[in-house]
Amino acid sequence: MNYLELIGFIQIVLIATTPVVFAGIGELVTEKSGVLNLGVEGMMLVGAVTAFVTLVITGSYVLAFLFSILAGIFMSGLFAFLVLILMSNQVATGLSLTIFGIGLSSMIGKKYIGTPIDGLTPWYFVILSFIIVFLVGYFFYKTKSGLIVRAVGESHNSAHALGYSVLKIRLLAILFGGSMCAFAGSYISICYAPMWQEGMIAGRGWIALALVVFSTWKPSRILIGAYIFGGTSIFQMHLQGKGFRFPDWVPFDNFFSSAPFFNMSPYLATMIVLVIISSNKLRIKLSAPACLTMPFYKGS
């Protein structure tokens, strides 16, 4: 890999990883407040299609992103109503939110599949993703409000006893998570692969969810996890393009040099790091929000 190729490689990694960072940091905020929202994939799809359709109709990038965020707020607001007010099961509701999002986005986008648009340069968004991760980290560990959100996630009863409105704080966290996921979706349909295709998020929402566990609920580690995953996925393509083979003295060199193994490698790398992280059960227990997935009712 020469100098120019290295630059190109880094650029591709940055472009490919940014959407997962956005979605991951949004989900992290939601989970910090004690709510698990498995609807990331669905919210990203609805965000992607809303941005795309708005762009085709109005021709304005600003409106596209604005409407996309509003769509994210709508989707996560629906989720918030179900889990906070009706106190439905968070896992089941999140899963159905994803299924709902897949269907809704297909329906909205039906007429617009294959409409050509001018893509937007991704670099502002790449920079923005780093800024947002920094801001979320600052919010949680340097501000009082961040401390309150964490308190709600760790022990909602204590937070309630102290006079904080648990439901209101959780609602805001869910809405923030939803708008970030939708924003990630709009980045994909407008910058990353400027088009609308049904199901085009192709599992990135689930990767974002895994990242939150991977990061042990620490914002800066979202970046590390996302770039391990994104870097490995692009690097394996790079190796494939170069026709790379492990030398013969490596055991099972034929297996490790095969394209199926290369395609598996990003997931494998993420899994290995996850195993290492979770080998210390205490660390996971300490960093996971204690009230994650627990419903809150004032009477208790």
Partner 1 sequence: MIKLFKYFTIIISFIGLTFSTAYAGPKKVGFIYIGPPGDHGWTYMHDVGRKHMESQLGDAVTSTYIEGVPENADAVRAIRKLASSGHDLIFTTSFNYMDQTLEVANEFPNVMFEHATGYKRADNVSTYSARFYEGRTIIGHIAGHMSKTGTVGYIASFPIPEVVRGINAFYLAAAKVNPDIKIKVIWAFTWYDPGKEADAANTLINQGADIIVQHTDTFAPCQAAEKAGVLAFGQASNQEAFCPNAHLTAIEDIWGPYYAARAQAVVDGTWSSTDTWHGMAEGMVVMSPYNSKLMSPELIQEAINMEIAIKDGTLHSFEGPIYNQAGELVVPEGQNADDGMLAGMGFYVQGIDDELPQ
Asked if 88 touches partner 1 (CB under 8 A), the answer is: no
Q: Which of 96, 258, 287, 293 binds partner 1 (CB under 8 A)?
A: 258
The reply to whether 199 sits near partner 1 by the rule CB under 8 A is yes
Q: Is 186 in the site for partner 1 (CB under 8 A)?
A: no
Task: Tell me if 240 contacts partner 1 by CB under 8 A.
Answer: yes
233 makes contact with partner 1 (CB under 8 A): yes
Window contacting partner 1 (CB under 8 A); options: 49-57, 151-159, 215-223, 254-262: 254-262
Closer CB to partner 1, 96 or 197, in the complex:
197
Q: Which of 197, 265, 287, 293 binds partner 1 (CB under 8 A)?
A: 197
59 binds partner 1 (CB under 8 A): no
Residue 108 in contact with partner 1, rule: CB under 8 A = no
122 vs 219 by CB, closer to partner 1 = 122
Stretch that binds partner 1, among 59-67, 156-164, 217-225, 239-247 (CB under 8 A): 239-247
Instruction: Determine, following the binding rule CB under 8 A, whether residue 202 of this chain makes contact with partner 1.
Output: yes
Contacts (Cβ under 8 Å, ≥6 apart) of 140: 32, 146, 147, 149, 150, 219
Q: Give the residue with the Cβ less far from partner 1, 44 or 169.
A: 44
Distance (Å) of CA 262 to CA 244, 281, 300: 10, 30, 51
Q: Please, what is the minimum distance in Å from the beta carbon of residue 15 to partner 1? A: 8
Q: CA-CA distance, 170 to 149, in Å (whole number)?
A: 8
Closest among 226, 200, 194 to 213, alpha carbons compared: 226
Q: Tell how far CA 18 is from the center of its chain.
A: 9
For residue 28, what are the CA distances in angstroms to 15, 36, 196?
21, 9, 27
CB of 92 to partner 1, least distance (A): 21
Q: Minimum distance from CB of 101 to partner 1 (Å)?
A: 14
According to the binding rule CB under 8 A, does residue 227 interact with partner 1? no
Shortest Cβ distance from residue 274 to partner 1 (Å)? Answer: 22
CB 145 within 8 A of CB 139: yes
Give residues with Cβ within 8 angstroms of 180, minimum separation 6: 22, 23, 25, 26, 27, 29, 72, 132
Q: How many residues bind partner 1 (CB under 8 A)?
A: 39
Tokens encoding 9: 């490689």
Selected range binding partner 1 among 6-14, 30-38, 82-90, 270-278, rule: CB under 8 A = 6-14
Q: In this structure, what is the dihedral angle of CA atoms 138, 122, 215, 37, given to the nearest 10 degrees?
A: 90
DSSP label at residue 59: -
Please state the φ and ψ torsions of residue 199, each to the nearest 5 degrees. Answer: 65, 25
Q: Report the nearest approach of partner 1 to the CB of residue 196 (Å).
A: 8
**Could you say whether residue 247 binds partner 1 (CB under 8 A)?**
no
DSSP 283-295: HHHHHS-TTTT--
Asked whether the beta carbons of 234 and 11 are under 8 A apart, the reply is: no
Query: Cα(139)–Cα(300) distance, rounded to whole angstroms?
Result: 29
Copy the structure tokens of residue 68: 């996309």
253 lies in the binding site for partner 1 (CB under 8 A): no
* Site of interaction with partner 1 (CB under 8 A): 5, 8-9, 12, 15-16, 19, 106, 110, 113-114, 116, 119, 188, 192-195, 197-200, 202, 204, 233-234, 237-238, 240-243, 245, 257-260, 262-263
